[in-house]
A and B are shown apart, each in its own frame.
Chain A
């Protein structure tokens, strides 16, 4: 209901006619309650607490892997945990943001989950700095695992040299998916590998009547596209100067401006129906050969697999336009401070299971990305990911996603700048670059 009649029509109803003796007591009680609660009410069962009497080590895990394929993937971890004497209680929440809000609320309310999914990066910092997360070194005797990860990833999950979360996988977030049928119909013989070929191909597709670029008009998808363009134009060192060292000279320089202008040029290749479209609907446009190109993370691969599309026959995937630079992010598990010894033992077992290269491999095989551990096998992954693995695992050919380097509020403000520029063709690339630099400069 949109309108609260009671509040607006009769405010005098709610007002007591004269002071009541009960009021001071109520005020004191109210203040005490507010001060004591210090956060939203906890809910759900404290599976870790209950397990004191259980033989099995019970653990509840907050995550947002809720689609069909994702559920199968996380089940690989749950099965391994249960097989080693644990009892997995799934606390899945639909929607990444919702899962994060629920997990943090439970931690603040004093009923923390055993483990909670995050993406690697500064989103963990606030919790880690307040001592609300258990350093992984306290949970497992394994000492060598941080050296078996890409160094940038180890750095992104560590505070003061201590890993605060277990990385589960590596996501590639700048894959170019080309529909071979649409390209062929437009007379484009091979997949574009530089900007002149790229624009010639999109023009040919447009002239032929198909959608050149399948885009979901949501902030994070527009940012994904922008970052892919930025990586292609600036290369590794330029990209890292923007998102890692936040160098204003680079951001206000000519290459960044060129990337912004190329991004702006892409507006004309998107159909009118894009605003608000979900990523999987955008993916379907390429799968159904109605659009030529999709720029998306590796999670889109599962949609192609589900539709029985053959790589390099029905579609081609490239890591960035030039197929030479990977933008890599990671899903991680953090372990909030537990209050009982049993709960800590459950977390110990969870951490061991999640660090196991075989478990990581199985999780990645079902979900789509790479395992986080460099010593986990990748032979039977999707051909597209086997190809990407070489770039993603090489220090000289991979850059971190902004999630790995920027705190969530700054990341959101960067999304805002990119989204505003995308929807406002009258904004100059100069204004965009200046606002982009301002956000990074004023951020703490």
Chain B
């Protein structure tokens, strides 16, 4: 009994903090999303009217589409590049730790810096475009391609993380398996595709989940790189929330958008939980 009390006292500060800061504000935000609050978080109950307005708002629907495009390109590119790098380093590369540092380094750079660097690289007048002539690098002024330019910058930042996770998992595999595969004359690519990568599927699921979560809440990268433009080609839900909360003075609509984001993240976590159970770890 006494032991449990002490235990409780130790956990209490963290628990109070979690409940107030995370759960409390979440509940409050969801509550506000059902009100007509404008500049101030006080308003009448209006039911689901803000949600109706939200889904009729073209900037919101554009934001959701842009996020889907971003998430798909970002997760896929980060995974492919990250796994490739991990496999290359796993082949007993020379100076492995030096390479590992180089490839992991972008992850130590904040998204704001990554966004600025890539904004300059892709600048149509002083960037790659001018270096190599008209090679089609003017992605940032093209409404169709701008979101993929942002995804490219995001992947540059995150691929190193995938590499580290997958590499660590690959190193953990029993070396006997590789030796046996080599003895049987199985080609290297086949060894990875059929034998080694399936063994690290837990790590792959974890990496995918991390990337998906990062994609769902991307904000700083876009603010630094395009600020939503050209037009609304790179607007994202998180930016929508900030705009309506602090500039456009519609707390009710912003809260409805934030609640939709919360639902999306909850859905992701549920899928991840199911995937982890299925993978068996």
Contact = CB atoms under 8 A, between A and B. Distances in A.
Contacts of B15: 16, 20, 22-23, 26
A27 B19 contact: yes
Contact of B248 (A104, A108, A408, A424): A408
Contacts of A423: 143, 229-233
B101 to A, nearest CB: 18
Contacts of A51: none
Interface string B205-245: 01001110110001001000011111111000000000111
Given A16-B11, A413-B57, A423-B230, A272 B141 contact: yes
Interface stretch (A31-39, A64-72, A151-159, A169-177): A31-39
Contacts of A421: 231
B231 A108 contact: no
Contact of A218 (B11, B16, B38, B229): B229
A34 B24 contact: yes
A369 B111 CA distance: 38
A39 B15 CA distance: 21
Contacts of B5: 21
B24 A30 contact: yes
Nearest to B36: A444
A253 B248 CA distance: 28
| Most-contacted residue by chain B among A98, A126, A417, A424 (CB, 10 A) | A126
B158 interface: yes
Contacts of A219: 228-229
A83 interface: no
A203 B232 CA distance: 29
Contacts of A127: 39-40
Contacts of B221: 2
B38 A126 contact: yes
A164 B227 CA distance: 34
Contacts of B18: 14
Contacts of A408: 39, 247-250
Contacts, number: 161
B21 to A, nearest CB: 9
B4 interface: yes
A158 to B, nearest CB: 18
Interface residues of A, number: 60
A3 B214 contact: yes
Interface residues of B, number: 70
A30 B16 contact: yes
B161 A272 contact: no
B248 A411 contact: yes
B125 interface: yes
Interface string A247-277: 0000000000000000000000001111110
Interface in A31-66: 31, 33-34, 38-39
A90 interface: no
B67 interface: no
Given A409-B38, A416-B58, A275 B12 contact: no
A20 B11 contact: yes
Given A275-B226, A423-B231, A2 B214 contact: yes
Nearest to A412: B248
| Most-contacted residue by chain A among B19, B57, B228 (CB, 10 A) | B19
Contacts of A411: 248
A123 interface: yes
Contacts of A424: 143, 231
A226 interface: no
A100 interface: yes
Contacts of A21: 4-5, 8
B7 interface: yes
A-B pairs, top 10 by smallest CB distance, nearest first, are A423-B231, A126-B39, A30-B19, A423-B230, A412-B248, A101-B246, A34-B24, A272-B124, A409-B250, A409-B248
Given A30-B16, A412-B248, 20 more contacts: A2-B157, A8-B272, A16-B11, A30-B23, A97-B247, A101-B245, A126-B39, A127-B40, A219-B229, A272-B124, A272-B138, A275-B140, A275-B141, A411-B248, A421-B231, A423-B229, A423-B232, A423-B233, A424-B231, A435-B58
20 contacts: A1-B110, A2-B158, A3-B214, A20-B4, A20-B7, A26-B19, A108-B41, A126-B249, A275-B226, A409-B38, A412-B248, A413-B57, A417-B58, A419-B229, A419-B232, A420-B58, A420-B62, A420-B231, A420-B232, A422-B231
